[in-house]
Amino acid sequence: MRASLSILTAIVGLGLFLLGLSQRWFVLPSGFESNNTLILHDAPATFWWKCGCLLALAGIAVWLVFRRKSTNIRSCLATFFAVLLPFLLWYPQAVIVQDDATSGDAAWLQQQFDNLTWLGGDVPRAHSERPVPDGLGLWAQEPPHRLAAFRPPLFGPFSLGVAEMPDLVWWFGYNPAFSQFVGCGWILSVLGTLLLLAGIFGSGKRTDETGQRRSLLRITGVALLSSSAVVLLLALWPLLLGSRSLLEAREHTLSWQPQAALDSLETAENHLPALRFDTGVILQRGSLLRQLGQADTPPAKLHEAWLLFDQGYAQRSAAIIEDLVSRSDSLAPAERREALRGLLRSAVDDLNSNRLTEAKRRFAILLDKNPACIQGWFHYQLAALQSGDLESNRLAAARVEALSKIYLRKESRGIRAASQGMLAQGEAGAGNTAAAVTARKHAQGR
């Protein structure tokens, strides 16, 4: 009975593993089709991890066909999947740390979600800020100044201590953005591997000697520890090199050596590509370029716009940002994303200042360049409601609903409810009672 249950567990594990290979491992929205359905894409790293898994499975299948009869199948299979498990768990770092484009998009989407749903965000504070004739009574929240996948590592090769342990989880790729957009495929593959190992361990006969079980456990343990050690070294190595380059960049900056600091920043970004979209790194690069007299480069312009906005010159900042957005196709992905974040900040400032026409214009530019910006659609809907633009209200409500369903956290229901509430207000204001009732029911989850 026990052997049969173990074999069944192994079969289920293999099925889950193969099913995981057929599903997305990371799910990000990038835009909308003409029929308003979302365009989704997976991380580029997924292709290589799946190819590695398939090649490994093909190799084990060939080995099973041509193996010697004296070979212990259980030991070999347990060793194989014990080696495979740490490499599956290494996947998040490949997405979050080594792929700056995917990681940057995921980080911004996560930041928008947090901006809308935290206790001081737009959704919890609705109807609590200021009286308006129509719409939610709130000051729309600007995006935070900094966007990043993790806190930059700044430690020496022998100074990684307890204080860095929470950051280490993020440096290995397990940050909120990965947890938010991880696909069921990766989860099923990891779960399938664990079930396969459990099934292999329990598939022995009752007559097996205790020494055989201990031998199997020892062989599997050695394989798992060896594989984990290799993966840990591969995961830590770029962190150590990137940290050293960042420390050098800081020293060169404090010594007024801008070119040397730029070179060190470039080296750090090569080791840790996710640093390329870190707002602090972009602005530091812009500051160094301005010191070198290269004030017309995109990072320098972003730095200038950030300083102007921080000093209260919002419209001068917005003019620089709009110029960058107008030629965004020629910008690097991180620079383009930062310019769009600046445009969102300017549009929110217009909305809060009751410059609805200007706010809608800037929101329209933002959403044309980045249709997956849920915070942009939410605030655009608020501007449409306050200006009486019912068609834009309906479009924004549909886009917010579609985008919110991508998020795994339950707080996304609050975003949909607030959006449907704005739609209900717009429909009621236009005299469409039935449509208003329907939207109100949707807002209440009915």
Residues paired with 41 in a beta bridge: 28
Closest CA to 356 of 378, 329, 387, 325: 387
Q: What is the pLDDT of residue 378?
A: 93
Environment class of 81 (CB within 10 Å of its CB; exposed 0-12, middle 13-18, buried 19+) = buried
183 and 27 Cβ atoms separated by less than 8 Å? yes
Asked if 122 and 378 count as a contact pair (C-beta separation under 8 A), the reply is yes
Supply the pLDDT for residue 156.
67
Which segments in the chain show pLDDT lower than 70? 1-3, 67-71, 120, 125-138, 156-163, 202-212
pLDDT, residue 203, reads 62
The pTM of this model reads: 0.89
So what's the pLDDT on residue 299?
A: 94
Query: What backbone torsions phi and psi does residue 424 show, to the nearest 5 degrees?
Result: -60, -40
pLDDT one-digit tens code per residue, 280-312 = 999 999 999 999 999 999 999 999 999 998 898
